[in-house]
């Protein structure tokens, strides 16, 4: 008789990614529970991790005050776009099924610290937070309704840029959203733009930088073209902190860097100063 008997099947061991959250900046490992309880902020280097649109809304909007709008507005595939990995339609339909969202931005009315607002929040996990025709239409409609209801506009950006699957139609959203925000300002309504990690490409080149006040979280990546593209174009080495929130604030592109824990209070204070 054997001294030991071993089970025939090995016990299932959870993969490391199921147990640990890894900071994208300093690569430190933390229990996922710790990461979540700290609002996806690295306890070691203070890097502010990415949040979904729903997580962001839960943090910013007063409890029970958010009413979603324009959910029926989604993508368009006028180009019948295909690449080597498949069709645009199949990719975005899979994203919709997985995420439960129908576009890269969620819009709705809410109150922030008791102040009424029109809130739009981008979700980077939806096609890289790309700016598509549906995204642009939602922002344009949000601006129109904000004017009708006399609500200030708050947009949280998180994007890799224009959705190139939609070609020139996606690039036209830069002009469309900028024009909609201009109408909002003509009506005397303020616009607070919050640039989160990352905000790049056509989004940073349009509505993300058009706020009456532009704010961001610490260490966020903000820029237009990528570092390697710029360095290969100008044949110069860029500073290590180039395109970081801190670099942009130092050079006047951002008005203020606000910690995530203070963000709701800061926005509420600004809305109060504007009289809303």
Q: What is the pLDDT of residue 195?
A: 98
Query: Pick from 217, 216, 210: which is nearest to 191 by CA?
Result: 210
* 102 and 210, same domain (yes or no): yes
Query: Pick from 189, 237, 191: which is nearest to 212 by CA?
Result: 191
Q: Is residue 2 part of a domain?
A: no
Q: What is the pLDDT of residue 22?
A: 84
Q: Is residue 6 part of a domain?
A: no
Q: What is the pLDDT of residue 46?
A: 86
Q: Is residue 129 part of a domain?
A: yes
Q: What is the C-alpha radius of gyration for the chain, rounded to an integer number of angstroms? A: 21
Ranges of residues in the chain with a pLDDT under 50 are none
Write the CB contacts of 79 (distance below 8 Å, at least 6 apart in sequence): 88, 165, 166, 167, 169
- Pairing between strand 256-257 and 213-216? parallel
What is d(CA 270, CA 275) in angstroms, rounded to the nearest whole number? 9
Q: How many CB atoms lie within 10 A of CB 34?
A: 12
* 32 and 81, same domain (yes or no): no
Three-state DSSP class for 48? strand
What is d(CA 148, CA 260) in angstroms, rounded to the nearest whole number? 30
* 233 and 100, same domain (yes or no): yes
Write the CB contacts of 142 (distance below 8 Å, at least 6 apart in sequence): 69, 70, 107, 118, 120, 153
Q: For 107-143, how does the pLDDT look when each residue is reduced to its tens digit (9 = 90+)?
A: 999 999 999 999 999 999 999 999 999 999 999 999 9
Q: Is residue 169 part of a domain?
A: yes
Q: What is the pLDDT of residue 23?
A: 86
How many residues are listed for the chain in this entry?
Answer: 276
* 38 and 56, same domain (yes or no): no
Q: Where are the beta strands (DSSP E) in 90-235?
A: 105-112, 115-122, 153-159, 191-199, 213-216
CATH number of the domain bearing residue 152: 3.90.226.10
- pTM as predicted: 0.91
Q: Is residue 4 part of a domain?
A: no
* 120 and 62, same domain (yes or no): yes
What is d(CA 32, CA 187) in angstroms, rounded to the nearest whole number? 45
* 42 and 136, same domain (yes or no): no
Retrieve residue 227's tokens.
């570092």
* 116 and 103, same domain (yes or no): yes
Q: For 188-229, how does the pLDDT look when each residue is reduced to its tens digit (9 = 90+)?
A: 999 999 999 999 999 999 999 999 999 999 999 999 998 999
* 28 and 134, same domain (yes or no): no
* 37 and 87, same domain (yes or no): no
Q: Is 150 exposed, middle or buried (0-12, 13-18, 19+ CB in 10 A)?
A: exposed
- Pairing between strand 191-199 and 153-159? parallel
Q: Is residue 258 part of a domain?
A: yes
Region label for 167, one of left (φ > 0), alpha (ψ between -120 and 50) or beta (otherwise) = left
* 230 and 171, same domain (yes or no): yes
Q: Is residue 8 part of a domain?
A: no
What is d(CA 78, CA 82) in angstroms, rounded to the nearest whole number? 12
Quote the domain boundaries for residue 147: 50-273
What is d(CA 147, CA 178) in angstroms, rounded to the nearest whole number? 15
Query: Pick from 125, 117, 135, 138: which is nearest to 61 by CA?
Result: 117
* 123 and 138, same domain (yes or no): yes
* 96 and 160, same domain (yes or no): yes
Q: How many domains does the chain have?
A: 2
Q: Is residue 189 part of a domain?
A: yes
């Amino acid at each position: 008789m054997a001294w030991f008997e071993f089970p025939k099947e090995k016990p299932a061991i959870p993969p490391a990614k199921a147990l640990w959250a890894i900071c994208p900046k300093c690569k430190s490992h933390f229990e996922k529970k710790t990461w979540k309880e700290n609002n996806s902020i690295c306890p070691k280097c203070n890097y502010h991790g990415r949040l979904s649109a729903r997580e962001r809304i839960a943090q910013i909007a007063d409890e029970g005050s958010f009413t979603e709008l324009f959910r029926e507005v989604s993508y368009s595939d006028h180009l019948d776009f295909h690449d080597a990995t498949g069709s645009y339609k199949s990719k975005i339909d899979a994203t919709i099924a997985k995420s439960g969202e129908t576009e890269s931005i969620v819009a709705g009315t809410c109150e922030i610290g008791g102040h009424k607002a029109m809130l739009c929040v981008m979700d980077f996990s939806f096609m890289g937070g790309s700016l598509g025709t549906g995204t642009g239409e939602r922002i344009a409609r949000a601006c129109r309704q904000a004017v009708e209801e006399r609500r200030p506009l708050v947009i949280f950006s998180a994007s890799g840029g224009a959705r190139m699957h939609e070609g020139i139609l996606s690039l036209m959203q830069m002009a469309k959203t900028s024009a909609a925000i201009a109408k909002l300002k003509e009506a005397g309504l303020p616009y607070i733009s919050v640039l989160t990690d990352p905000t790049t490409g056509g989004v940073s080149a349009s509505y993300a930088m058009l706020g009456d006040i532009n704010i961001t979280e610490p260490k966020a990546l903000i820029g237009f073209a990528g570092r390697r593209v710029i360095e290969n174009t100008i044949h110069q080495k860029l500073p290590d902190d180039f395109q970081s929130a801190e670099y942009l604030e130092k050079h006047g592109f951002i008005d203020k860097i606000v910690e995530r824990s203070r963000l709701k209070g800061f926005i509420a204070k600004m809305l109060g100063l504007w009289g809303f």
